[in-house]
Amino acid sequence: MSIFSHLRQKVALTLHKSERYVKTDMVYLVKEGGWLMIGQFISLALLFLLSVVLANLLSQETYGNYKYVLSLAGLLSALCLSGMNTAVSRAVAQQKNNSLQSAFKTQLKWGVFQFLIVLPIAYYYFINSNHALALSMLIIGSFVPLMNSANTYTGVLTGKKEFKTFTIYNTSVSIITTLSLLVTILLTSNFIWLLFIYFLSATIANLIFYQRTIKIFNIKNEEDDETLSFGKHLSLINLLPTIAYYIDGALIFHYLGAIDLAVYNFAIAMPEQIKGFLKNIMSLTFPKFSQQSIIDIKASIWKKNLYFTLGILIIIILYIVAAPTMYRIFFPKYLQSVYYSQIFVISLLAMSSMVSKTALMSQTAKKSLYKLSVIAAISQIAVTFLLILYYGILGAIISKILMRFFDMTLSAWFIKKL
């Protein structure tokens, strides 16, 4: 036996022993999660590089305008059938492998409605002589529906637990979009061009991997009414939370201006990237939860939440200590963002709610998910509006923290009620 085989067996044995304490398939988590972590680290590195370039080569006002339009794109995505990825993932995990193309076509049909909504908004900006924002809205309306529809291939990969392929494809999309933006920034600081190149490159990359997924896994074009219905339900559930997530950017731009929006975005940027990393880890648990009964889930979920929270706490402490130095080196224009960022990173503690939410989605607990999304989202929209109005950037930060902990509490309560 080679030294590497012996070491592998020792590691596997240690992981198996730890399972009695954490109530989690640790071999599965490390084996499959390793690929997700590699991909996420690459994506984080690319995002960090792009952030450094944007922070140093664009003015704060230009960057604020750019982020405002992306906030509008996010608000528009609330009208996408955003729950289809999860619905397809669940179907594939349950051996229903041919729902991808019908989900794609359904989303594209819905995309026509999105474009029709964008047209009057673009016209409003045009008649008010804000041609840049008018053109931005047309770019968003043209690309977002197709880009999001094509991205549904990720549901197949996570449902099949093909995390290596998922990582390669997802990382490739990040590389393509980041390199495209970096080249564009070197040629122009016009945010219209930045938006166009970003959405064009992301849409093309997602379409390529959508087609490749169909070919590799020999996916047939079959209707799956149950999956489409569940995807629509999840999308409706996601509607208000998506609006709540992106509304802060629009409100800050409207009440405080582009420069304050730039400062705010650099304050939340790195904690949000860490959140994205943790959220991807949660995609590992979805296929597992889908194959378990609610009794089995409830028996282990609280211990999973505890260990997940302890890990996040370590990350928070390290970030608070390192943030001032990182901003001085990489984001010297945004030193005022440090204070806000150190406060905002505390919101990561509420990420333990992702474990509960993933469990709810895996069990198609539609009624509980509806209640959770509506209560949390309406509360967040109201609190965000009031706190931004009275306390500016700090109000936006505090509202996010408060609402994430509120969401965490609600998620735990609904799991207990099942």
153-182 pLDDT, tens digit per residue, is 998 898 888 888 888 999 999 999 999 999
Task: Answer whether 64's CB lies under 8 Å from 257's CB.
Answer: yes
What is the 3 state secondary structure string of 293-317? CHHHHHHHHHHHHHHHHHHHHHHHH
Q: Letter for the amino acid at 65?
A: N
Q: What whole-number distance in Å separates Cα of residue 396 and Cα of residue 402?
A: 10
pLDDT digits (tens, 9 = 90+) for 291-331: 555 555 555 556 666 777 888 899 999 999 999 999 999 99
* Terminal-residue alpha carbon distance, the chain: 49
- pLDDT exceeds cutoff 80 at 141: yes
**Gap between the Cα atoms of 47 and 173, Å rounded:** 12
Residues 6+ apart with CB under 8 A from 274: 315, 319, 345, 348
DSSP 243-291: HHHHHHHHHHHHHT-HHHHHHHHHHHHHHHHHHHHHHHHHHHHHHHHHT
Q: Look at residue 47 in the predicted model and tell me its pLDDT.
A: 87
| pLDDT confidence of residue 14 | 52
CA atoms within 13 Å, Cβ hemisphere of 357: 23
Which one-letter DSSP state was computed for residue 352? G
pLDDT band at 15 (very low <50, low <70, confident <90, very high): very low
Rounded Cα gap, residues 357 and 301, in angstroms = 11
Among candidate residues 71, 399, 125, the one with its CA nearest the CA of residue 247: 71
State how far the alpha carbon of 155 is from the alpha carbons of 84, 85, 227, 299, in Å. 8, 5, 12, 27
Give me the residue spans of the domains in the chain. Answer: 22-417
Which pLDDT band holds residue 377 (cuts at 50, 70, 90)? confident
- Amino acid (1-letter code) at residue 86: T
DSSP for 132-172, written as a single string? HHHHHHHHHHHHHHHHHHHTTHHHHHHHTT-HHHHHHHHHH
Under the banding of pLDDT at 50, 70 and 90, the label for residue 390 is very high
Q: What is the pTM of this model?
A: 0.79
pLDDT digits (tens, 9 = 90+) for 62-105: 999 999 999 999 988 888 888 888 888 888 887 776 778 888 99
Q: Residue 314 CA to chain centroid, in angstroms?
A: 22
Instruction: Tell me what the mean pLDDT of segment 243-255 comes to.
Output: 93
Question: Considering the chain, what is the average pLDDT of its residues?
Answer: 82
